[in-house]
Amino acid sequence: MPKRSEEMLMDLWMSLLLVWITCVPCVSMTPIIGQSKSTQTGGSAVVASGLGEGQRLLSRAKRGWVWNQMFVLEEFSGPDPILVGRLHTDLDVGGKNIKYVLAGEGAGTIFAINELTGDIHAMKRLDREEKAEYTLTAQVVNADTDEPLEPPSEFIIKVQDINDNPPQFIEGPYRASVPEMSAVGTPVTRVTATDADDPVYGNSAKLVYSILEGQPYFSIDPNSATIKVALHGMDREMREEYLVVIQAKDMGGHMGGLSGTTTVTVTLTDVNDNPPKFSKSLYEFVIPEDLPVGKMGGKVKANDRDIGENSKSTYSIVEGDDQNMFEIITDSQTQEGILRLKKPLDYESKRAYTLKVEATNIRSEPSSGGPFKDTATVKIVVEDSDEPPVFSKPMYLLEVNENAPINTVIGTVTARDPDSTGSFVRYFIDRHTDLERQFNINVEDGKITLAKPLDRETDMWHNITVTATEVRNHSQISRAIVAIRVMDINDNAPEFATEYEAFLCENGKSGQVIQTVSAVDKDDPIQGHNFDYRLVPEMLNNPNFTIRKNLDNSISVLAKHDTFRRQKQEMYFLPIIVTDNGNPPMSSTNTLTIRVCGCSKDGIVQSCNVEAYVLPIGLSMGALIAILNLIMLLVLTENPLTKNEPLIIKDDEDVRENIIRYDDEGGGEEDTEAFDIATLQNPDGINGYLPRKDIKPDLQFMPRAGQHSGPNGVDVDEFINVRLHEADNDPTAPPYDSIQIYGYEGRGSIAGSLSSLETASSDSDQNYDYLREWGPRFRRLGELYSVGESDRET
């Protein structure tokens, strides 16, 4: 049978089946009437369909109602309400006054019942997708009194589906990708359509997929909707994008089914299936020989039909660069090969180069069998340029003695013109590097000579710059550094490393080291310094000091005896000759100053002044008070008391130059002019000499100049020491045999006497006999205190 006849027969059978499915609910889902008034609990019923009105089927039943589910077609749009079914009870037997009542979902609005016959009709158009079933309650009541004659019973009206919803692609349109050159059957993507019809009843929701557009490149599985590659060798470089139209049809794809479509855009992704290809097989470049190193000499380009990482290539020189003169790098932006210089070109040495360069893909597919590559030839012609002169050395190191005479030739620099023409070269010194013009150069032959005397101790190195210029082209200039080292000769005598001043203790021992002396020499001999120390000839046999050589090129000065005294001589001068080991040797005489000082028992220097005296330690308080009184007594001899004149401070504010005295036993607090502190501020008064006026001195002593703190300072300690020295050495200065009266305490003094002489009348048991052992200066003071004690004993 022809295919067209088969399709027509199949369509006819499908139409008959649909008519039968649509009509069955109208006649088979009618409730069946029972024959007895039995209760609704338990029992069974015999169900029949297709009974007309008035027909009865006798059956055994235990209840008044026998129910089936009722069905109604959705989307019914006839001119009259559609009959859903009929209710009937065995109480409905001729002439009984009964009626049927319907309640529940949609009762009275969607569904209506004939009270007399029990027929149920659908009053509205129903949509299964909105509500699939309704639950209602039926009951028989007395028509007059509305009293229930039987209990209510439930039944369900189901809305029967029809194919009224087409399939829909909710997620469409779709985009997908698949690698180019994929094998046939390679999955691309999967699409999904939905149908709102009932998937259980009939084939309204059974979908079948097909391709409307996109063949022969792609296919689709009719059930799973998986799109697959259908054509072998799909090349992205030929076509990159495809539009595929997919259809989904319900009713299992049969005639009369509804359908929906969507689009799928399929993009072929790139794989590295194309090698790089140079745009031409031969490149030619002309490069000047003075092109700087690292600069570009030319570009090459290999194109690749692939995209992204698959199109990127690296360049390399594989042949022709034995001298390693060039390099080629890849420009990441343009994917070009940049040819650069690695070494300077020289036209005179080589005028042409032939290179073979290669472009290789960075990435390769595992199935490609290795990286794709291509090669090209690069010819380079070197162009001659006028180059500056070239020195034989980039830097010259010359030496000259510091005593070399003027015009001495120090050395020679040479340069040549590298060009084939061979121009003559002239030499000059860059005077910015030789500001003092200590050197000259011969412009013809490059000989450097000395223009001024050199001193190594002033400048050991001289760095000058020499320029070489072509005669025919003065703009071509080259430079070279010339470092000139000044060689040392022995022209400086050694000397003490510093101005030494040694200190010698009076209580020092014979042979003790006073000072360690070292020397320095401005010269710098190759073998190093080795100094010889000796005393001047006239001091070789001196009785006081000697020298001893140490291993570290120094000497130690030693004392020969232990009888040094400041009162005898406070300062010694020791001249020492220092000689170096140069040729010829140089020597100098240096003087070491040695001061005699008073030291503690531990050898610590305390004072180096000749007039100073260090008191022994361990004195009692009474002895110290007595010494203080003696010192003050000596000082006061310079300021006679004036008790009869009123002492008034003229300026109440000017009190800084006045002192209230309590040690002269004079006017107490009222005597403010007994001593003026301005005397201590007068530097002339510190060293001045005030002779006595009452007697003519037998011996005149002139004290030597002492140190003072300056015109604005007051060194009271130095002032007292000077006065003490005068008292010790001047027999005409007090104390002398004269009577001093200290009985006057002044008027209205609130302070007692501060004089320690009152201790003679006190209860103190101090013994002052030890004062007599201190020498003639304290013997008189000891006698005064001893007399007081003897009087107290009597």
Between CA 711 and CA 376 the distance in angstroms is 98
Tell whether the model's pLDDT for residue 453 goes beyond 70.
yes
Q: Count CB atoms within 10 A of the CB of residue 623.
A: 21
What are the tens digits of pLDDT across the range 289-330? 889 999 999 999 999 988 888 888 999 999 999 899 999 999
Tell whether the model's pLDDT for residue 411 goes beyond 60.
yes
Between CA 230 and CA 248 the distance in angstroms is 20
pLDDT value at residue 697? 45
pLDDT value at residue 540? 84
pLDDT value at residue 193? 92
pLDDT value at residue 35? 28
Token pair in block for residue 638: 């310079």
pLDDT above 70 as % of the chain? 71
Give which of 741, 744, 722, 742 is closest to 733, Cα–Cα: 722
pLDDT value at residue 627? 72
Between CA 199 and CA 166 the distance in angstroms is 13
3-state secondary structure of 787: helix
Alpha-helical runs (H) found in 316-404: none
Q: 241 - beta bridge partners?
A: 267
What are the tens digits of pLDDT across the range 26-76? 333 334 333 223 333 333 222 323 333 333 444 443 444 445 578 877 777
pLDDT value at residue 739? 54
pLDDT value at residue 736? 53
Give which of 49, 25, 24, 46 is closest to 35, Cα–Cα: 46
Q: Which one of 164-168, 521-525, 639-643 scores highest in mean pLDDT?
A: 164-168
pLDDT value at residue 429? 94
Kindly indicate the confidence band of residue 178, based on its pLDDT and cuts at 50, 70 and 90. Answer: very high
Give 636 or 591, the one with higher predicted confidence: 591
Give the CA radius of gyration of the chain: 69
pTM across the whole model: 0.41
Tell whether the model's pLDDT for residue 5 goes beyond 70.
no
Kindly indicate the confidence band of residue 772, based on its pLDDT and cuts at 50, 70 and 90. Answer: low
3-state secondary structure of 540: coil
Kindly indicate the confidence band of residue 633, based on its pLDDT and cuts at 50, 70 and 90. Answer: low
Greatest alpha-carbon pair distance for the chain in Å reads 190
Q: Is the Cα torsion angle 133, 134, 140, 142 positive or negative in sign?
A: negative
Quickly tell me which residue has 């992204």 as its tokens.
Answer: 308
CA triplet 470, 476, 481: central angle to 5 degrees?
A: 90
Give 556 or 700, the one with higher predicted confidence: 556
What are the tens digits of pLDDT across the range 90-141? 777 766 788 889 998 988 888 888 888 888 988 888 888 788 889 898 888 8
CA triplet 584, 585, 586: central angle to 5 degrees?
A: 120
Q: 104 - beta bridge partners?
A: 136
Tell whether the model's pLDDT for residue 387 goes beyond 50.
yes
Mean pLDDT of 701-712: 43
Q: Mean pLDDT across the chain, nearest whole number?
A: 76
Give which of 83, 91, 135 is closest to 113, Cα–Cα: 83
3-state secondary structure of 760: helix
Tell whether the model's pLDDT for residue 264 goes beyond 80.
yes
- What residues contact residue 246 under an 8 Å CB cut-off, 6+ apart? 169, 191, 209, 210, 211, 212, 220, 225, 227, 261, 262, 263, 264
Kindly indicate the confidence band of residue 622, based on its pLDDT and cuts at 50, 70 and 90. Answer: low
Tell whether the model's pLDDT for residue 614 goes beyond 60.
no
Mean pLDDT of 599-613: 73
3-state secondary structure of 152: coil
Q: Does residue 691 have a cis peptide bond before it, meaning omega lies within 30 degrees of 0?
A: no
731 exposed, middle or buried (CB, 10 Å; 0-12, 13-18, 19+)?
exposed
What are the tens digits of pLDDT across the range 739-753? 555 555 555 555 555
Token pair in block for residue 453: 């005397």
Give 273 or 59, the one with higher predicted confidence: 273
Kindly indicate the confidence band of residue 721, based on its pLDDT and cuts at 50, 70 and 90. Answer: confident
Kindly indicate the confidence band of residue 485, based on its pLDDT and cuts at 50, 70 and 90. Answer: very high
DSSP designation for 673: S
What are the tens digits of pLDDT across the range 486-510? 988 888 899 998 999 899 888 788 8
pLDDT value at residue 372? 84
Which whole-number Å values give the CA distances from 194 to 165, 227, 669, in the listed order?
Answer: 10, 17, 128
Query: What letters, b where the CB count within 10 A reaches 16 and e where it falls short, cover 312-332?
Result: bbbbbbeebbeeebbbbebee
Give 760 or 451, the one with higher predicted confidence: 451
